Every structure is written in C-alpha cells, then in structure tokens.
C-alpha cells in the first residue's frame, strides 16, 4: 500500500487523498496523557478514508511487538510512549527504541516513535502540553510520509524543527 501511495502522490494529490489507508497507533497505560486522542484527530482530519488500528499495551517495552502486530495490517504506525524519570526507565526506553528500529527493518514500514520523558518539563501542565503537541506534530509527519512518500518532508530538511518544544531553526554557515 505504501508503494501505491507514493505512485499515487506523484500522479495526483487530490486522487491520492481519496485512497484508503490503514494506520496503526500503539500507546501505553503507563503514559500520563492519552496521546492517541490528539494523534487520531490529526490523522482523521488529514486522511479522510483512514482505518485506525489502536493497540494499547502496559509499558514501553511492550511497544515493539504491538507495532509489529499492527503493521501486519497497517501501512504505517505511530507509537506513543511515556518514559519515567528513573535510570531503569531510561534503559527501558533504549530497549524499546532498538526494538522499533528492528520492526521497521523487518517490515519495511515507517514507525514514528513519539516519546515523552517524565523529566523533560518542570510541571505537569508543561508535560501535558509537550505530550499533546508532540503527538499532533508527529501524526502530521506520519501522514506526510504516508501520502507523499520519502520526499514529503524534504522541504523541511535541516530546518531545526522540534515536536512538543519550540523549533530551534537552521544553523547558517
């Protein structure tokens, strides 16, 4: 389906947006924010004929197998994880990240990893804002890769974009 989407985009953007896509969303009960909700809002607004396959697991170490399972049916996937502040949580994130890379290599499909780290903000309000904004922006990245292919994000290469925090801009030499 992804190859069909890239060919479609090259021929006709309007017709391409009418294709039916399937997107997997994997999230966790460990997360303190339901990041799937804003991600699904962006996806369904951007891709009218989308089928969403949501799979919720206990924690981040469970995400890779869930992503693999949804990719058996989906064209692409987005994972929404939450990492605690302790060192063991950081190691769990590393293991999950390596697992997701393996899933992408084995399936040949993109998995956009959206992760919020408990210690990246000074307040719960800021963590909430980061989680929602990061989920929305990465959902848009996912839609762009799905509907426009590998060149969809090329206009933004090297622009210092960030998800959930302010963009930092390009470094000019």
The neighbour count for residue 4, using CB atoms within 10 Å, is 12
Task: State the pLDDT at residue 168.
Answer: 87
Closest CA to 23 of 94, 105, 80: 80
Residue 116 included in any domain:
yes
Cβ contact 110:119 at 8 Å? no
Residue 92 included in any domain:
yes
Residue 162 included in any domain:
no
> Can you give the CATH number for the domain in which 23 is found?
3.40.50.960
Q: CA 84, CA 123: separation in Å to the nearest integer?
A: 14
How many structural domains are present in the chain?
Answer: 1
Q: CA 143, CA 69: separation in Å to the nearest integer?
A: 20
Given phi > 0 = left and psi -120 to 50 = alpha, else beta, which region is 149? left
**Which residue shows structure tokens 């190691």?**
91
Residue 146 included in any domain:
yes
Residue 104 included in any domain:
yes
Residue 170 included in any domain:
no
Task: State the pLDDT at residue 1.
Answer: 44
Give the pLDDT of the chain (173 residues) as one tens digit per residue: 444 444 554 554 554 555 789 999 999 999 999 999 999 999 999 998 999 999 999 999 999 999 999 999 999 999 999 999 999 999 999 999 999 999 999 999 999 999 999 999 999 999 999 999 999 999 999 999 999 999 999 999 888 888 888 888 899 86
Task: State the pLDDT at residue 9.
Answer: 45
Residue 35 included in any domain:
yes
Closest CA to 83 of 64, 70, 97, 104: 97
The neighbour count for residue 56, using CB atoms within 10 Å, is 15
What predicted TM-score, i.e. pTM, was given to this entire model? 0.86
> Which residue segment(s) compose the domain that 102 sits in?
2-154
Residue 173 included in any domain:
no
Burial of 141 (0-12, 13-18, 19+ CB in 10 A): buried
Write the secondary structure of 79-110 as one string of H (helix), E (strand) and C (coil): EEEEECCCHHHHHHHHHHHHHHHHHHHHHCCC
């Amino acid at each position: 389906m992804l190859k069909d989407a890239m060919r479609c985009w090259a021929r006709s953007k309007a017709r391409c947006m009418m294709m039916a896509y399937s997107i997997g969303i994997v999230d966790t009960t460990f997360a303190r924010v339901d990041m799937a909700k804003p991600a699904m809002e962006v996806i369904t607004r951007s891709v009218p004929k989308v089928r969403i396959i949501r799979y919720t697991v206990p924690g981040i170490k469970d995400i890779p197998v869930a992503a693999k399972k949804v990719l058996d049916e989906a064209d692409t996937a987005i994972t929404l994880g939450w990492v605690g502040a302790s060192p063991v949580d950081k190691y769990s994130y590393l293991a999950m990240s390596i697992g997701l890379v393996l899933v992408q290599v084995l399936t040949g499909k993109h998995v956009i990893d959206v992760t919020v780290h408990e210690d990246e903000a000074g307040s719960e309000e800021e963590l909430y804002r980061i989680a929602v904004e990061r989920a929305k922006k990465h959902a848009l990245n996912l839609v762009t890769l799905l509907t426009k292919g590998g060149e969809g994000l090329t206009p933004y290469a090297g622009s210092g974009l960030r998800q959930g925090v302010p963009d930092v801009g390009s470094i000019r030499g």
